[in-house]
Structure 1
Amino acid sequence: MQPLLLLDIVGLTSRLIGEHTPRLAEFAGQGAVRTLNSIVPAVTCSVQASMLTGLMPEQHGIVGNGWLFRELAEVWFWRQSNRLVHGERLWEAGKRHDPDFSCANLFWWYNMASSHDFGATPRPIYKADGRKLPDCHTRPAEWRDRLTAELGPFPLFHFWGPATSIASSRWIAEASKLAMADFRPSLLLSYLPHLDYDLQRYGPDLGHPAVRQSLRDIDAVAGDLIAHARERGYQVMVVSEYGITPVRRAVHLNRHLREAGLLQVRHEAGAEILDPSQCQAFAVADHQIAHVYLQPGLGARKAAEVEEALRSIPGVAGVWQGRARGELGLNHERAGDFVALAEDDAWFSYYYWLDDARAPDRR
Structure 2
Amino acid sequence: MEEPFTKSREMVFPRSILVGHEVLPRIVDMSMSLGFSGPGLMITGENTYKSAGRDVEEFMSDGGYEMTVHLSGNATFECVDDAVSLGKETGSRFILAVGGGNKIDTAKLTAKKLGVHFISIPTSASHDGIASGRASLKSSTETKSVEAVSPMGILADTGVITDAPFRYLVSGCADVISNISALADWELSRKSNNEFFSTSAYQMSMMAAETIIENSKNIRPNDEECTWLVLKPIILSGVSMSVAGSSRPTSGSEHMFSHALDTLHPGKAMHGEQCGVGCIMMTYLHGKDWMRIRNALMDIGAPVDAAGLGLNSEDVIDALTYMHRIRKDRATIIGENGLSRAAAENLARATHVI
Question: How does the TM-score come out when normalised to structure 2?
Answer: 0.25
Higher strand share: 1
Question: How does the TM-score come out when normalised to structure 1?
Answer: 0.25
